[in-house]
Chain A
Amino acid sequence: MSRVEHATPSSRIGVVLIAVTLTVLAAAPYWGDRQTLRLLAELYTFVALASLWNLLAGYAGLVSVGQQAFVGLGGYALFALAILLGVHPIIAILIAGPIGAVIAIPVAALIFRLRGAYFAIGTWVVAEVFRLLASQISVLGGGSGISLPATVVTAMAPSRQMREFETYWLALLLTVIVLGAIVVLIRSRLGLALTAIRDNEMAAQSNGVDVWRIKFIVYVLTAFGTAMIGALIFLQKLRISPDTAFSVNDWTAFVIFITVIGGIGRIEGPIIGTIIFFLLRQALADLGSLYLLMMGAVAIVVMLWAPKGVWGLIAERFGWQALPLQRHLVFEKEAGGKQ
């Protein structure tokens, strides 16, 4: 007899560690100062963005350099809903997800005609189109952008401190939901197909996996998550403009850097990558453009000489996995004692 198991000893320890970490992080308003909360909340959004990009590029093989299209779309959805329709910001964040998904459907139908690297630049064109369109919307500030009015902000919570706590917990909660959804997705039937595509697209296709359909679903789901996180990011910033909302540096270059360094095609990669990215940023931010230059160089070096990233090296050396995701065939001993 044999059966498929996901868990390994390391993943059992991993799950416990993650639960403890989450509890400590959820209690951060009680032990951290404002600066820490802000930094942590920003870190969560990058974990979420990088995890979504990893799902897209690492698993589905859809290397996009235009995910800023959906970050910006989510941000603008939040501002439009809150300012023009008076929707509560938290509700607006939840609506931003479906908006992102609905817009992603025609976009995918169009740019899926491009293959490989041309697909990547196609996604970039779409993001540029979104940016140029956003600067035409004069009720949302046109090219120079707009701030979230004080009335909308105070509607969230009367005191500033409470509002900051709320945004912090919201960021943590949304990121956990995004990560949880990705874990569930990868453990599902769709996830098995996705892992097959990641490992060998042609083999997956010849085994009956409908590659186009699965990539399409992943693209739309990723847009859903990215738009929601985008809305959250601009609720933290309280101000939006076309250039910040659709910035290729902030929402794509950093996210790619994080995923590549951490380990592409693995759930743990973006989390490790984000921590490394923030440590580097805290240490080197004073260097300005030199810091970005070094980041580009590090990404190239990792891509060429350690293409599986930091977590890939650890996972291969020690066989660790933090979450029960891989499928193992387990043979149970029968009466005869044969394996």
Chain B
Amino acid sequence: MQWLNIVLQGVLTGGLYAMFAAGLSLIFGVMRLVNIAHGDLIVLAAYVSLMVTQGTGIDPLASLLFVLPIMALIGYALQRGLLNRTLGDDLLPPLLVTFGLSIIIQNGLLELFTADSRRLQAGAIEVQAFELLQGVWIGVLPLLQFAIAVAVIAGLQILFYRTALGRAFRATSDDRSVAQLMGLDTRHVFAMAMALSLAVIAIAGVLLAVRSNFDPSIGPARLIFGFEAVIIGGLGSMWGTLAGGIILGVSQAIGAQIDPGWQLLAGHIVFLAILAVRPQGLFPKVSG
């Protein structure tokens, strides 16, 4: 029963990791860009939510009404103003520019909010739980988080395959120059993809902030979790990303049970093992 409990907690945490991964996977799919600042943007979203909740007194989950559009706008502007210039055959510029961005966000947050650990208060929902089976308790908040993650991924899936914007994303992903010849403004398409990625980041950031403590330095670790979920799940597959996040979450939960020092290590080792035996991931769709 104890182990079932641990695995279930791992699965629920995995939903959050899948959301870290979804935004990363999305922009890689559309423009082959890997955003090193992804984790720091998640932390930025958490701080934006902190400011909104402190400023207006509303609930952290309700603050998404503001945080989501703010982050999406930042994403659009970032892509149009900066990142579009880095795209091309050379790998180095996007990598180094997003790395620079990561340093700027981290130290900017440090300057504004100090290194103090923060947390968003979501009220009574934080401690509510129900008994699923005898001895197996599920927290309402983790369950809600997981449900949101599934909904976000399903939503992205529908957007990709059922809407005009999704068609533009797929066309640009398949062949940028042909898409441009067909009349698509790829700069705008890329910026929309980044805006969407940051909208997902906004949700992930707020959920992270009500679940655990955060400070300006935790971004890179979130990037790594998201990245591991993407690779485990297989490049380009949204549902694979969810599976990757769950595998990572469960590995960490089991590792933590064996020895608290092994929580993160267990996740990394499972990732490296999958990379060794199945480098294309579990459900691959595009080749890197």
The residues of A with any CB-CB pair to B shorter than 8 Å are: 57, 61, 63, 65, 110-111, 113-118, 120-122, 124-126, 128-129, 132-133, 135-136, 143, 248-249, 253, 256, 260, 264, 289-290, 292-293, 295-297, 299-300, 303-304, 307
Contacts and interface: CB of A to CB of B under 8 A. Distances in A.
13 contacts: A61-B91, A114-B279, A114-B288, A116-B32, A116-B91, A120-B95, A121-B227, A128-B224, A296-B107, A299-B96, A299-B103, A300-B100, A303-B96
A110 B33 CA distance: 22
A115 B231 CA distance: 11
B220 A248 contact: yes
B93 A307 contact: yes
Contacts of A289: 107, 110-111
A118 B275 contact: no
Contact of A132 (B100, B108, B228, B261): B261
- Range, interface on chain B: 35 or more
B273 to A, nearest CB: 10
Contacts of B272: 110, 125-126, 129
Interface string B98-135: 01111110111011000000000000000000000000
B91, B100, B223 — most chain A CB neighbours (10 Å):
B100
Contact of B100 (A124, A128, A249, A299): A299
A256 B104 contact: no
Contact of B95 (A111, A114, A117, A122): A117
A110 B271 CA distance: 11
A9 to B, nearest CB: 31
A293 B95 contact: no
Interface string B12-38: 000000000000000000001110100
B151 interface: no
A116 B34 contact: yes
Contact of B224 (A125, A264, A293): A125
A292 B103 contact: yes
Interface of B: 32-34, 36, 82, 85-86, 91-97, 99-104, 106-108, 110-111, 220-221, 223-224, 227-228, 231, 261, 264-265, 268-269, 271-272, 275-276, 279, 288
A132 B34 contact: no
Contact of A118 (B85, B221, B288): B288
Contacts of A299: 96, 99-100, 103
Given A63-B95, A297-B100, 10 more contacts: A63-B91, A120-B34, A125-B271, A129-B272, A253-B103, A296-B107, A297-B104, A303-B96, A303-B97, A307-B92
Contacts, number: 122
Contacts of B110: 289
Contacts of A122: 275
A248 B106 CA distance: 13
Contacts of A120: 34, 36, 95
Contacts of A293: 103-104, 107-108, 111
A117, A124, A304 — most chain B CB neighbours (10 Å):
A117
A264 B92 contact: yes
B272 to A, nearest CB: 6
A290 B110 CA distance: 9
